[in-house]
Structure 1
């Protein structure tokens, strides 16, 4: 069995200080092989916010892999936003915006879905999809994609689906992606969805905000994913003071190309 902890939308700058130690303890006590961070590490892409986020990540026991979110590019510094949007992220967090990690049969592929020219709505570029597909095709096994913006969302999400999401999801499913880890909406969701291009299914696990005070009617949370030969168990860990506790537990089995909830 291989275990991934999935966190997102830390938003250092609007973080809840009382949650820092409980979140660190919960993650370090989970026995995970790796922590996947799906963007929005900061609130306003300030250097001190990135440093606080990096210090938190480095305090975790497991290794981590991260991608940027839309809050990780400058909003109010237009020169930086348009001409060097990822400079501070690369300086403090990670030079690679689309990192790759291998964990036994799992291949984790990060995708940068940020569009610096718009504030909220993301986009997924064809070049990044092709590179992810090359990696997944070579690796085989179980492909896990990490991205900030969801590839599929409910109509009441309140935000526009990122550009090219459906086509990109179809291409990723075709080349070996099975699970997508996302954030952005500050809402929990763990469900399979079928792309329009073919009948292969993707399982999207979308966590809310793990640290920010900017919750949207849901508690702060993160996910623990346990992969085995038959499928994956997804556990939602939500904040119920004074600790993060199990709020939802779902089992998904892989039947041929399809995910089915047990």
Structure 2
């Protein structure tokens, strides 16, 4: 499956736990003025006017580059107490996102996806109709004329599957309402639950799409849900019980059957990322693509888990995902931005600023990209002269390469290479000063200098395998030429 004919790539702005209301970061004490305090929309939109690494540019290619389509996902808890004025603030926030330029692009309302959180229902009321009335009103106002209106006595219909084609990039986004049973003084007061009927209906819908959309394997598949689907130690709070999702095992199994790539959630204000790929060991099981789970933390609440980390801050993330259907490989890059509101002491709001607090870059695949060891014969080496001669010719400097899905829209793979010195403690000779990398007429020559780039690292983005040449220049005026091969990854299992 090394013949790559089609790739998908999109970017996602992931926000969670905005908590407009009493504990919102942009709300002053009750008797104080709001003048001089920016809104959350102001803070985020201003941050999205700068380049903090979200756009990958290939300077080695002669062709024009496109930007990835951009969508927005909000994984619940827009409000603190599901009050109408809090939902109005959330509505203003979403309307701002859909009317301003974000990372040089505009996001239409039809490309914004969200779910309710446990704080978005009036959990003191006893009926679903009463509990979901404010949220459904908010939902219908935002999606007026774009989606069918939702009724509060049928909150299960807030679980929806959306099939999108964004400039040729095929995407499936599933919004799952796990807050149907949230009610005060019950076991579900803060716990999430996806009941068996909801799982059945979701399975039927995904199977229907899979049977009618013959290219369903080509879609990037994303879930947006509020509560955490996997209980990690960092999500456990004393006195809160296990407030993850009831029946999450069945839900995760269903998502795995349909090769979902990303699960975006909120609830706990602890941002983190992990792969979910449990494999039962009492039998052989079909290899599935791992699911990457991203907890969004809190974008807007003052209530942060500072007892767990003194670096806790409000966060949002820019996620880039590239999917190779033929090769069954995905690459997921997550840039997390943190709002710095304190230094040695709390900062005045005009001094608040966003910083990149984490960058995570992962390649996921359901198979091994190296072959198993086959049948071999062995014999004693009698002459090692040529191999050792090559060491000396290259002055013990070796080119190495890693291949991964490219984050350049329209490209297939990235070949990232650099120079490794073999046993530097044993080699005291001339110093490598410059490396020129070339890969044929379709790519520009890359020149790396020691002072600027001590590893002589580079990358080429490509659609086919290629032989890459490294021409090395040493400070004693000597030169050496060597080669490394950039392959097209495939299933070697």
Q: Normalization by structure 2: what TM-score?
A: 0.48
Partner residue in 1 for 2:231 = 153
Partner residue in 1 for 2:412 = none
Q: Does 1:168 align with 2:214?
A: no
Partner residue in 2 for 1:11 = 19
Structure 1 runs of 4+ with >6 Å offset: none
Partner residue in 2 for 1:125 = 195
Bigger relative contact order, structure 1 or 2 (CA pairs below 8 A, ≥6 apart): 1
Q: 1:183 aligns with which of 266, 282, 287?
A: 266
> Residue 182 of structure 2 contacts residue 191 of structure 2 at CA under 8 Å; is this kept in 1?
no
> Residue 5 of structure 1 contacts residue 32 of structure 1 at CA under 8 Å; is this kept in 2?
no
Partner residue in 2 for 1:243 = 353
Q: 1:212 aligns with which of 276, 279, 301?
A: 301
Partner residue in 2 for 1:223 = 317
Q: Does 1:44 align with 2:92?
A: no
- In 1: Cα distance, 2:139 partner to 2:319 partner: 24
- In 2: Cα distance, 1:27 partner to 1:51 partner: 23
Q: Normalization by structure 1: what TM-score?
A: 0.88
- In 1: Cα distance, 2:128 partner to 2:136 partner: 15
- In 2: Cα distance, 1:216 partner to 1:120 partner: 17
Partner residue in 2 for 1:111 = 176
Deviation, structure 1 residue 165: 1.0
**Structure 1 unaligned regions, length at least 5:** none
What is the CA RMSD across the aligned residues, in angstroms?
2.4
- In 2: Cα distance, 1:28 partner to 1:128 partner: 40
* Segment drifting more, 3-12 vs 104-113: 104-113
Deviation, structure 1 residue 196: 5.8
Deviation, structure 1 residue 235: 1.2
Q: Does 1:22 align with 2:122?
A: no
* Segment drifting more, 10-19 vs 202-211: 10-19
Residue aligned with 1:84, SS: helix
**Structure 2 unaligned regions, length at least 5:** 1-8, 27-37, 55-67, 99-106, 141-149, 151-156, 307-311, 324-329, 342-351, 369-403, 405-493
Deviation, structure 1 residue 83: 4.0
- In 1: Cα distance, 2:254 partner to 2:81 partner: 32
Residue aligned with 2:261, SS: strand
